[in-house]
Amino acid sequence: MGSEKTILVIGGGISGITAAIEAAEAGYDAVIVEQNPYLGGRVSRAHQYFPKLCIPSCGLEINFRRIKTNPKIKVITQAEVKNITGKKGAYEVTVEVTPRMVNDNCTLCGKCAEVCPVERADEFNLGMSKTKAIYLPNSMAFPAKYAIDKAVCPGASCGKCVEVCAYKAIDLGMSGQSLTLKVGGIVVATGWKPYDAAKLDNLGFGKYPNVITNVMMERLAAVDGPTGGKILRPSDGQPPKSVAFVQCAGSRDQNHLPYCSGVCCMGSLKQINYVKAQLPDAQAFMFYIDIRAMGYLEDFLRKVQEMPNVSLIKGKVAKITGEAGDALKLEVEDVAQGKKITQVVDMVVLATGLVPSIADKRLPGDITYDEYGFIVPSDSGIVGAGCAKRPVDVYHSAMDATGAALKAIQSVVAGGVHHG
């Protein structure tokens, strides 16, 4: 499969999708290898983008249409790159594909999920809701096919879904496969994962149910999230009267992530908008070291600063403890006032940072990493893009991915010259 004119894109989030489409529209073949059963990655789980507060699926709709109408793009989901050999212009890549157990006959009719007796925690909603063992990953899912969670599906001993499927779309005996791709250039767009908030033991995540992370907040605010888009306290399902956003939860901290995660300030300012849009009377606090609203994102900061009942306070949250009624007490070193203050709120959102997805599980091939596991640009034909390279927002990920597509094309072109 593939050829030396093909570009492999590892990762099907916004960076990977962008790199593949841009390369394909410039006339090259592109293959996306994605580990999830769907494309869209982290952005598909975000409620809105800053600063426009527009909807990620709007752009995904266009991108999926660009993929569906372009025969130059191939998408392989539930797949992982196992090996990369060769050199610039001529790589051979081994990809291992986990069986989806649902084939292209799937029509999304949904009969299978109706009869499926097994439930699972929905990873799309970060475990805050459940789906059946056979499930459609999300309303916008592309490829538009159900998937089966092998970890919980009892398999042929149950087989209820197979019986009910009129389109012979389910094959519980489907086996995995190993593919060999020949490609001329590679874009690594493996993205990020949130820093594990449980490691921030002074901030009470995992101990107090109303301490949540910023990625959880995205799902709470999203209409296809566990609460149908309502911001509710996990402890009692009630709307919070006050919410505190704790910046640099792990970032800019020698004990956790020494670097700045680049997007969390804007992320929290955006989430303050979520809170105020639904709960106009709620109090919002944001405790920060520096507010990093670069370029004309400054306008958005100014807008939030002017909102009633919003306090942006320069100060480092030292400790969070539980209070009566599932409330939370924050101890803050308030820098402006030069003293320690305490603030009691109904809910806390930790602005956890971005860790490269491949920080602990590096890819094969000729790739240079910095000490944090971000990819450092090099002359190899394997090019990093988006958050695999540095923590950046969606706009700059897409920008970088477009450039990465060109770098991969150059690798193909260089290979072509080499091979005459």
Report d(CA 2, CA 8) in Å as an integer: 9
- Taking the complex as a whole, how short is the minimal distance between the CB of residue 62 and another protein, in angstroms? 5
Specify the amino acid at residue 94.
T
- Taking the complex as a whole, how short is the minimal distance between the CB of residue 311 and another protein, in angstroms? 15
Rg (C-alpha) for the chain, rounded Å, is: 23
- Taking the complex as a whole, how short is the minimal distance between the CB of residue 357 and another protein, in angstroms? 16
Residues 352-371 that bind another protein (CB under 8 A): 370-371
Alpha helices in 69-121 (DSSP H): 111-115
Q: Does 139 bind another protein (CB under 8 A)?
A: yes
Q: Does 256 bind another protein (CB under 8 A)?
A: no
Q: Does 258 bind another protein (CB under 8 A)?
A: yes
Specify the amino acid at residue 209.
P
Residue where the block lists tokens 């450039």: 403
Residues in CB range of 132: below 8 A, 6 or more apart: 112, 113, 116, 118, 119, 120
Q: How many chain residues bind another protein (CB under 8 A)?
A: 85
Q: Does 6 bind another protein (CB under 8 A)?
A: no
Report d(CA 373, CA 116) in Å as an integer: 40
Which residue, 167 or 323, is less far from another protein as judged by CB? 167
Q: Does 59 bind another protein (CB under 8 A)?
A: yes
Name which position in 1, 3, 68, 364 contacts another protein (CB under 8 A): 68
Residues 304-323 that bind another protein (CB under 8 A): 314
Which residue, 123 or 370, is less far from another protein as judged by CB? 370
Name which position in 156, 237, 296, 308 contacts another protein (CB under 8 A): 296
Tokens encoding 113: 């999920």
Which residue, 171 or 224, is less far from another protein as judged by CB? 224
The binding track of 157-196 with respect to another protein, each residue x by CB under 8 A or -, is ---------xx-----------------------------
User: Across the chain, which distance is largest between two alpha carbons, in Å?
Assistant: 75
Name which position in 261, 268, 271, 352 contacts another protein (CB under 8 A): 261
Residues 391-410 that bind another protein (CB under 8 A): 391-392, 394-396, 398-400, 402-407, 409-410
The binding track of 18-57 with respect to another protein, each residue x by CB under 8 A or -, is x---xx-xxx-------------------x-x-xxxxxxx
Which residue, 219 or 320, is less far from another protein as judged by CB? 219
Q: How are beta strands 130-132 and 134-135 bridged, if at all?
A: unpaired
Tokens encoding 400: 């970088």
Tokens encoding 294: 């670069």
- Taking the complex as a whole, how short is the minimal distance between the CB of residue 167 and another protein, in angstroms? 6
Output the CA angle 345-348-352, nearest 5 degrees. 155
Name which position in 20, 162, 181, 222 contacts another protein (CB under 8 A): 222
Distance of CA 42 to the CA centre of its chain: 2
Distance (Å) of CA 262 to CA 49, 218, 336, 340, 394: 15, 17, 23, 27, 11
| First-residue to last-residue Cα distance in the chain | 21
Which residue, 176 or 258, is less far from another protein as judged by CB? 258
Alpha helices in 243-349 (DSSP H): 264-278, 298-305
- Taking the complex as a whole, how short is the minimal distance between the CB of residue 374 and another protein, in angstroms? 7
Name which position in 79, 148, 186, 291 contacts another protein (CB under 8 A): 291
Q: Which of 350, 280, 272 is nearest to 305 (CA)?
A: 272
Q: Does 281 bind another protein (CB under 8 A)?
A: no
Fill in the DSSP letter of residue 57.
H
Distance (Å) of CA 30 to CA 22, 217, 411, 414: 9, 34, 13, 17
Residues in CB range of 104: below 8 A, 6 or more apart: 145, 169
- Taking the complex as a whole, how short is the minimal distance between the CB of residue 169 and another protein, in angstroms? 10
Tokens encoding 324: 């009566």
Which residue, 182 or 252, is less far from another protein as judged by CB? 252
Fill in the DSSP letter of residue 208.
B
Name which position in 63, 131, 210, 357 contacts another protein (CB under 8 A): 63
The binding track of 334-353 with respect to another protein, each residue x by CB under 8 A or -, is -xxxx---------------
Residue where the block lists tokens 């999920």: 113
- C-alpha dihedral (84, 408, 262, 368), degrees to nearest 10: 40
- Taking the complex as a whole, how short is the minimal distance between the CB of residue 329 and another protein, in angstroms? 24
- Taking the complex as a whole, how short is the minimal distance between the CB of residue 45 and another protein, in angstroms? 12
Residues 75-134 that bind another protein (CB under 8 A): 105, 107-109
